[in-house]
Amino acid sequence: MEKLANEIWIFDGEPVQFLGLPYSTRMTVVRLSSGDLWVHSPIKLSASIAEQVNSLGWVKYLIAPNHLHHLFLSEWVSAYPDAEVYGTNEVIKKRRDISFHTSLNNPQSYAWEPDIEQELFSGSPLMEECVFYHSSSSTLIVTDLVENFSGQDFNYWQRVVVKGVGILAPNGKMPLDWRLSFMFGKADARKHLNRLLSWNPQILVMAHGEIVHENADEFLQQSFKWLV
């Protein structure tokens, strides 16, 4: 557990294999002004992680922000049966074994709005992600919208591949296949990007890769040049 800023912590979990690469995993936990915990992209649950999370407060909300970040969700649902579970439409379709409170695609007021704003980033038939902004710490929270791998856990050829698809730090961005899928939805995506930039985020925490600890707004403008 690492404290990222006031009332926000990150937990780095075990890597998972994805497309032949060891993808690092990261969970972000926010303690809301109510005292409840908001858990984004839950990682593999262990007794140690549960103990650390419980020391911060009561787990109230479990967030699956896109269709790839659900692998360990059922473990958390079992451990915290009173928590409300939220996911995008695609996650809900994929995980019919989990009872979701509602979809993040629904335009409505969410209980965490006093502390966390959100934007559903769409424009691609392959990629849709709900992105969050913790206003008091100026932190933007994403999963795959931006990937920024250090490359330390990759062999030579894996680093070549990762650099080729544009997700190697310090020049991380959305993976190439997802960027290409926005060919006919760039106008929609630009609207979402403008909303993210309007928050003026200073910290960018993603599920995969090196955190941007300052001037995250400038990093975003650089990493989304492909969208202009």
Beta strands in 41-128 (DSSP E): 58-64, 84-87, 102-103, 116-121
Mean of pLDDT values over 91-105: 95
Alpha helices (runs of H) in the chain, residue ranges in sequence order? 47-56, 73-79, 89-94, 156-164, 176-180, 186-198, 216-223
Percent of residues in the chain assigned helix, strand, coil, to nearest 5: 30, 30, 40
CA distances to 133, 156, 222 from 123, rounded to whole Å, are 20, 34, 19
In the predicted structure, residue 93 carries a pLDDT above the cut 90: yes
Give CA–CA dist 90/88, Å, rounded: 5
Judged on CB neighbours under 10 Å (0-12, 13-18, 19+), 228 is exposed
Specify the pLDDT at position 100.
97
Closest CA to 137 of 38, 2, 43, 3: 3
In the predicted structure, residue 80 carries a pLDDT above the cut 90: yes
Mean of pLDDT values over 121-130: 92
In the predicted structure, residue 20 carries a pLDDT above the cut 80: no
CA distances to 39, 56, 73, 179 from 106, rounded to whole Å, are 19, 29, 20, 24
Which domains are present in the chain?
2-227 (3.60.15.10)
User: To 5 degrees, how large is the angle CA 83–CA 94–CA 79?
Assistant: 25
Question: Residue 99, SS3?
Answer: coil
Specify the pLDDT at position 189.
95
In the predicted structure, residue 150 carries a pLDDT above the cut 90: no
In the predicted structure, residue 126 carries a pLDDT above the cut 90: no
In the predicted structure, residue 151 carries a pLDDT above the cut 80: no
User: Which residues are 28's β-sheet partners?
Assistant: 10, 40
Mean of pLDDT values over 185-205: 96
| 145 φ/ψ angles, rounded to the nearest 5 degrees | -60, -35
Give CA–CA dist 173/185, Å, rounded: 17
50-76 burial string, b = 16+ CB within 10 Å, else e? eeebeebbebbbbbbbbbbbbbbbeeb
Specify the pLDDT at position 172.
92
**Least confident residue range of 5-19, 150-164, 211-225:** 150-164
Specify the pLDDT at position 157.
75
The per-residue pLDDT for range 40-56, each reduced to its tens digit, is: 999 999 999 999 999 99
